[in-house]
Structure 1
Amino acid sequence: MNDIEKQQNKGFFGWIERVGNKLPDPVMLFIILAAIVIVISGIAGATGLSVEYFDAEEGENLTVEAVSLFSAGGLNHIFNSAVDNFTGFAPLGTVLVAMLGVGVAEWTGLIVSTLKRLLSNVPAFLLSAAVIFAGIISNIASDVGYVVIIPLGALIFAGAGRHPLAGLAAAFAGVSSGFSANLLIGPTDALLVDITNAALNSAGINYEMSITANWYFMIVSSVVLTIVGALITDKFVEPRLGEYKGDYRPDFESLTDIERKGLRNSLIVLIIYVVIMAFLMFPQGAVFRSFDEAIGAESINDFLSTGLLLAIFLLFALPGLAYGLTVGKIKNSSDFVKGMTEAMSSMGNYIVLAFFAAQLIDYFEFTNLGTILAVSGADLLESIHLTGLPLVLGFIVVAGFINLFIGSASAKWAILAPIFAPMLYNLDIAPEMTLIAYRIADSSTNVISPLLNYFPMILIFAQRYDNKAGIGTLVSTMLAYSMAFLVTWSLLLVIWFLFGLPIGPGASIAL
């Protein structure tokens, strides 16, 4: 073992990596976890475990009981839902469609040539910050950042002669741990604000939050998290990873004349495509605009949520096609298809992993164990009778822990909002502040949860550059970002709380 490997194995993070990597293959681990959920559900069902909470949408108290997968209904669910769980697994289609386009751009050489052109003499900190920031602002397009920014982060770092896993980690941190921060208002804002307003109204509180309720705070958060993430990448993650010794070695040779011509032609195609898409998206009455009830006007939020993925495919495929035709990589239709086929061939492990991950996530939801955990955690915090800032910080800790088991931001908030939004309102803490605390908790711990929908995909991407990378490698690498973002973001909230700064247009921390 050399000095770098000894350094990597030291300390708390080294211990996490060693223990995590000694776990079975990720596929087997998901099978084992699914089996554990089945056993726990059987015990919980037999003992009649249940919780009661107020459902804002239904306007009534609901009793949620643990559902046993050992029961007749449970066993039927296991067998009858397996295919639907797999085909309906949200990240599966997202990842595969995006990778079709990225595969064309990568196979033709467009991505490598672009990186060679752009990455010469870029300062390390600036490159890290750019990857983090791109990940943060990508959440305006929902989950697209997971399948575009994260693999590109690894390629960008590799193209700059840096460790690709550090680039992947930086992008993952920006996309997932910085999910709620942004410079713009997006679908997530509308969704969470709607749930909060419904929770308040159901408790008889006449209060209406606007979609811009957290805007000022999230703009500042985007800048702060970018700086913190870049520092973690450059000062901790990359030094700990050490020198890259994997098989992926991008060509660092200077661009040839034909490659420059290919870049020029692909840029022309890209500009034409962007202009067409802008015409379809932004003018009043444009094809991709629809009425958004959350803001009472036309918006492209529906397109961003459901239609953007095909647009991303074309964003990579069309310039990739132009580049491939120019440099001679694509000579006929078969070559074009080959680029997509090779991209799909590299996703075989992910498809297998996705099948079992989808079953685990479904079992956890079907048994109601996640809901029971969330309500129990909320009840525990409520019973402590904290007030003011300690209550807000305690809420962040509890919600961050629950986030490890329930990945959906809206599903979690639908459970927690009817409890915490009215409770903190009655303690003179504005719902806008409560929502900020929730968004901090919901984002920061995403990257260390194996139950995150996209976690299996990130692991497969990591193994592309280091075939020895396991869950321990990924969790130990991402834990530094999770801790740093959670602490920094919470401190930022404390500053806002103590100085009474405006959170958004017309929104403050206290009533």
Structure 2
Amino acid sequence: MSTSVQKASLFNRFLDSVERVGNKLPHPATLFALMALLIVLLSAVAATLGLTAEHPVTGEIVKVKNLLTSDGIRWIWTNVEKNFVDFPPLGLVLVVMVGIGVSEGSGLFTVLVRQLVLGAPKRLITAAIIVAGIFSHLASEAGYVILIPLGAMIFHAIGRHPMAGFAAAFCGVSAGFGSNFLIGSVDPILAGLSTSAANIIDPSIMVNPMVNYFFMVASAIMVVVVGTFVTEKIVEPRLGTYTGELQPLEIEKLSEREKKGLRWAGWGALAICGLLAWSIIPEDGLLRDPETGGILHSPFFKGIVVAIFLIFFVPGLIYGIITGSIKNDKDVVKHMTHSMKGMGGYIVLVFFAAQFVYFFKESNLGIVLAINGAAWLKSIGLTGIPLIIGFVLLSAFINLFMGSASAKWAIMAPVFVPMFMLLNYHPGVAQAAFRIGDSVTNVITPMMSYFALIVTFSQKYDERYGIGTIISMMLPFTIIFLLVWIVIISIWYLTGFPLGLDGPIYLKAGI
């Protein structure tokens, strides 16, 4: 046996061990409940030990809150329902699923998959799904709800393992945070936080939302190429042949009625997109911010879930009417109801996941961990490439415990942006390194808001799939993306090539 085969075999055995251990854990809902209980206990221990951190912006001493005190128990008692209802993915998922139910029930999804399978080159399917995942961030986090199950469906239809398509879509959607071909809604948020942090050193600095644009485009190309390689050469061979009970979609040529329905559904989608554009592009657009006239914090983005709902509901309705799969309003409601039947397990899972996430947030354990971790990295005095790599690894580690990217950057930017600037690096360097670390571990951390939904989707193909299945399947993406991304940003550092449209990697003056 060759050395490369032995290494591959060892790596597969390692992933198999991860899967076995992970799947021997309790049901994900039980696991989240136990983790919530553990947070309560850890908060008591940490508070007793006096674990604190100094907030880098306010200078306030952040203390761990003991959730086992009378105040803590009262907070838990009065917030269980609120935690569940306010959990960010819950509303988005349920509203979008109502619209998806019409598209799926009318047959639009099925005919779209058939058309894609019939028309697209088979060798480009994996790359196309990853590209779609990267672009999906333009529609907020809808890619988690829509594209991941669609990727599995497409692979299943062409005779490949559905979980390989699932993995390709998941890697594209999650890595889209640190790589993209276009500027998304998160870029102005991060740039604003970077600006505030940079002003600590130089009040005149303004960080442009496109500060990482060149790096993001190069990273997006890397994600497509490397993601395709990992999917087809590592993940898919390990998965083998799908032997589950779910039957694949039969691929037949589209009938004339189906083609007509598809054309009119496309016109319907374009009409919705046109109306949405009309509501935000003009300066007096109805869905712009009525006070500032801006788009970023406008009603449009605050209610983006409505736009996503309409983009699926209207074309699905049109297709159903033309093909005869929808004859009256009862059919529409029936399709909506059917789409919600499979969400029962997800809703139960979210109930316990929400308690874990909000217990963790209320205890301040995540904030204290992030601040102390940042202070430690600063204290060891790294510079150059070791500093960048260390910050990438720290960001990846903290992402395992804190799900919100903007919340993490709000804490980390005031520490690291000034630190990088004082070492003569542009604020965009710190921001780019943060985005790498925050992207690579998204696919393996249960703290990611949509992880519960990901597990639920996977169980459609095999009810035995659990947290261990997902982590072992996605771990190769984490490891290889991390290594390649470190190489890319190191090359950027050595060449001094601009990260984006806001200056070079070094600050040449002012520091």
Q: Does TM, scored on the shorter chain, surpass 0.5?
A: yes
- Cα deviation per residue 1:388-447 (whole Å; 9 max; x = unaligned)? 111111011011100100011111111111111111111111111111001111111111
Corresponding residue of 2:281? 282
Matches within 5 A, 1:391-402: 391-402=387-398
Paired letter, 1:255:
L
Which amino acid counterpart does residue 390 of structure 1 have in structure 2? P
Name which of structure 1's ranges 383-392 and 160-169 shifts more when overlaid on structure 2: 160-169
> For residues 22-171 of structure 1, what are the structure 2 equivalents within 5 Å?
22-55=24-57, 60-120=58-118, 122-171=120-169
Q: Work out the CA distance in 1 between the residues paired with 2:414 and 2:56.
A: 6
SS at match of 1:465: coil
Shift of the alpha carbon at 1:120?
A: 1.6
Deviation at 1:205, TM superposition (A): 5.3
Contact 1:186 1:301 in 2 (8 A): no
CA contact (8 A) 2:133 2:170 kept: yes
Q: How far does residue 287 in structure 1 lie from its aligned partner after superposition? A: 2.4
In structure 2, relative to structure 1, the CA distance for the partners of 1:232 and 1:124 (3 Å cut) is: farther
Return the offset for 1:459. Answer: 0.7
CA drift of 1:240 comes to 1.3
Q: 1:154 to 1:460 in 2, by over 3 A?
A: same
Contact 1:48–1:65, Cα closer than 8 Å, also in 2: yes
- The 8 Å contact of residues 228 and 485 in structure 1, kept in 2 or not, is answered as yes
Map 1:370-381 → 2, pairs under 5 A = 370-381=366-377
Check 1:161–1:302 CA distance in 2 against 1; reply closer, same or farther (3 A cut): farther
Aligned pairs, number: 498
1:217–1:457 Cα change, 3 Å: same
In structure 1, C-alpha distance between the alignment counterparts of 2:257 and 2:202, rounded to whole Å: 68
For the Cα contact (< 8 Å) 1:26–1:470, is it kept in 2? yes
Question: Which segments of 5 or more consecutive residues in structure 1 lack a partner in the other structure?
Answer: 1-6
Instruction: Compute the displacement of 1:162 (Å).
Output: 2.1
Q: Distance in 1 between matches of 2:283 and 2:466?
A: 49
C-alpha contact 2:417 2:430 (8 A) present in aligned 1: yes
CA–CA distance in structure 2, aligned partners of residues 343 and 288 of structure 1: 29
1:3 match: none
Superposed displacement of residue 304, structure 1: 5.6
Distance 1:290 1:150 in 2: 32
Further displaced range: 194-203 or 400-409: 194-203
Other-structure match for 2:182: 184
CA distance in 2, matches of 1:243, 1:356: 34
How far off is 1:481 after superposition?
1.2
For the residue of structure 2 that corresponds to 1:360, the secondary structure is helix
User: Shift of residue 204 of structure 1?
Assistant: 5.5
Residue in structure 1 matching 2:487, options 475, 484, 491:
491
- 1:378-417 pair list within 5 angstroms: 378-417=374-413
Q: Within the alignment, does 1:317 sit opposite 2:316 as a pair?
A: no
Residue in 1 aligned with 2:5? none
Q: Where in structure 2 are there 5+ consecutive unaligned residues? A: 1-8
Q: Using structure 1 for the length normalisation, give the TM-score.
A: 0.93
Deviation at 1:306, TM superposition (A): 1.9
Change (3 A) 1:427 1:23: same
**Structure-2 change in CA distance of 1:231 and 1:123 (3 Å):** farther
AA matched with 1:25 = H
TM-superposed deviation, 1:167: 1.4
Distance 2:418 2:498 in 1: 21
Determine what percentage of the aligned residue pairs are the same residue.
43
Flag the 1:45–1:414 CA change in 2: closer, same or farther, 3 A: same
Q: d(CA) in 2 for partners of 1:477 and 1:303?
A: 38
Q: For residue 244 of structure 1, what is the aligned residue in structure 2?
A: 242
Change (3 A) 1:281 1:248: farther
Q: Name the SS of the counterpart of 2:207 in structure 1.
A: coil
RMSD over equivalenced CA pairs, Å = 2.0
2:395 and 2:499 map into 1 onto residues whose CA distance is: 21
Deviations 1:333-360 (A, max 9, x none): 1111011101111100000000100000
Q: TM-score, normalised by structure 2?
A: 0.93
Q: Secondary structure at the match of 1:24?
A: coil
**Alignment partner, residue 253 of structure 2:** 254
| Inter-partner Cα distance in structure 2 for 1:458 and 1:130 | 20
